[in-house]
Amino acid sequence: MLEALLSQWSGETVIVRHDKASGAWIFVAVHSTRLGPAVGGTRMMAYPDLEAALRDALRLAEGMTFKFAAPGLQFGGGKAVIALPASLERSARAPLLRRYGTLLSQLGGLFRTGPDVGTTPADMDVIAETGAPYVFSRTLAAGGAGDPGPFTARGVLAGIEVVCDRLFGEQSVKGRRVLVQGAGDVGAKLIGYLGEAGAEVLFSEVDEGAIQHFRDELGVEYVPPEAVYTTECDVFAPCALGGVLNADTIPKLRCRAVAGSANNQLDQHEDAERLRSRGILYAPDYVINVGGVMAVLGLEVQGWQRDTAEQNVVDSVRKALTQIFESASAQGITTEAAARRIAEGHLDAPAK
């Protein structure tokens, strides 16, 4: 399993730890340190098997390399996956996170982390007890930048506006039908921002509590998971897990564009071409979802203020996506290929 996955991977290093006390497996994938120390979230969840967990870490780490390289940020790409056993006692969570923090200390800055699916700023506080100074996005109370979700969502909204401009000649989302898949940390905020901006918002979710909140309390139109790919909309915004754009789903889509926050939305490279040949405009995931990590690093490393952080995210997503859409159509390539060329340009440039 290791041999097959790692020999086909373009990254640098993988650290593997079996945490005996909890039964969890920890993978830290360092994809590239070409532009700086590797940074990426810590994803913590149960996987069908270990191979799926490692595969996720490798792909997500690669995505982080491109996420930083596209706008020319001086960080490398990495990701950590903590693959949980089928059941983990509540009381076992903090000790596991502290042992993981110790591992980050031992790595001495090779990999630095923040929250991702299954972890929160409160978890970052716990990891930082042993893993500081390599832990970003701790809570505001602990002196960190807090939740990256609102910044990510703000960037995605800016990206959807660029998409609307391209499709309809005006950037406003007012009256546009936008389907948000996943009302998690980013999706929930995006639903709010879209609603405030006058969009016709639909959402899909599997979590009963979130369904009740948005459908029953806030009156947002609910789309059951089995209808999410076939529901007509202007913009489909995947904000849950990866791999949702694939040979099975793309032929069914009834949207004009895909623009959402999930990492690794394309299942395979060819899926970018599949979208293009159906005339669906795709906002490359790592370009439109950079807001959270960009703002957190800006706040914690570069001393930005919160309002400038938000403005920088909006400006940067807007500029990058506009450039990518223009160069993709000028060169007759997919938007994914156009984004990759820009990122590779930064990765290939002589070291400063």
- Catalytically annotated residues: 79
Of 39 and 202, which CB lies nearer to ligand PHE in the complex structure?
A: 39
Q: Tell me how crowded residue 68 is: count the other CB atoms within 10 A of its CB.
A: 28
| 91-102 residues labelled b (16+ CB within 10 A) or e (exposed) | ebbeebbebbbe
- The two structure tokens encoding residue 89: 């006692």
> Who contacts 228 (Cβ-Cβ below 8 Å, separation ≥6)?
179, 181, 204
Give the span between the Cα atoms of 82 and 97, in whole angstroms. Answer: 9
> Looking at beta carbons, which residue is closest to ligand PHE?
114
Of 152 and 335, which CB lies nearer to ligand PHE in the complex structure?
A: 152
Of 33 and 137, which CB lies nearer to ligand PHE in the complex structure?
A: 137
Helix-helix angle 306-331:149-168, to 10 degrees: 40
Q: Are 128 and 113 in contact (CB under 8 A)?
A: no
Please pick, from the candidates 77, 114, 150, 187, the single residue that binds ligand PHE as defined by CB under 6 A.
114
Q: What phi and psi values does residue 316 have, to the nearest 5 degrees?
A: -70, -40
Q: Per CB under 6 A, which region of 110-118, 188-196, 231-239, 247-255 contacts ligand PHE?
A: 110-118
Give the span between the Cα atoms of 8 and 249, in whole angstroms. Answer: 26
Smallest separation, CB 209 to ligand PHE (Å): 22
Smallest separation, CB 288 to ligand PHE (Å): 11
Total residues in contact with ligand PHE, by rule CB under 6 A:
13
Q: How many CA atoms lie within 13 Å of 240's alpha carbon, on the beta-carbon side?
A: 16
**Stretch 286-305: interaction string toward ligand PHE, x if CB under 6 A:** ------xx--x---------
Of 123 and 161, which CB lies nearer to ligand PHE in the complex structure?
A: 123
Considering only residues 38 through 97, tell me which ones interact with ligand PHE, judged by CB under 6 A.
39-41
Considering only residues 216 through 235, tell me which ones interact with ligand PHE, judged by CB under 6 A.
none
Smallest separation, CB 135 to ligand PHE (Å): 9
Considering only residues 121 through 180, tell me which ones interact with ligand PHE, judged by CB under 6 A.
136-137, 148
Q: Per CB under 6 A, which region of 4-12, 109-117, 242-250, 340-348 contacts ligand PHE?
A: 109-117
Smallest separation, CB 136 to ligand PHE (Å): 4
**Residue 216 has what DSSP assignment?**
I
**Residue 181 has what DSSP assignment?**
E
Smallest separation, CB 263 to ligand PHE (Å): 5
**Stretch 236-265: interaction string toward ligand PHE, x if CB under 6 A:** ---------------------------x--
> Who contacts 275 (Cβ-Cβ below 8 Å, separation ≥6)?
245, 250, 258, 282, 334
Q: Tell me how crowded residue 118 is: count the other CB atoms within 10 A of its CB.
A: 16
Q: Are 245 and 237 in contact (CB under 8 A)?
A: no
- The two structure tokens encoding residue 307: 């309002």
Smallest separation, CB 55 to ligand PHE (Å): 17
Of 44 and 296, which CB lies nearer to ligand PHE in the complex structure?
A: 296
Q: Tell me how crowded residue 269 is: count the other CB atoms within 10 A of its CB.
A: 11
Please pick, from the candidates 19, 116, 185, 285, the single residue that binds ligand PHE as defined by CB under 6 A.
116
> Who contacts 129 (Cβ-Cβ below 8 Å, separation ≥6)?
98, 101
Q: Per CB under 6 A, which region of 111-119, 232-240, 304-312, 317-325 contacts ligand PHE?
A: 111-119
Site residues (vs ligand PHE, CB under 6 A): 39-41, 114-116, 136-137, 148, 263, 292-293, 296
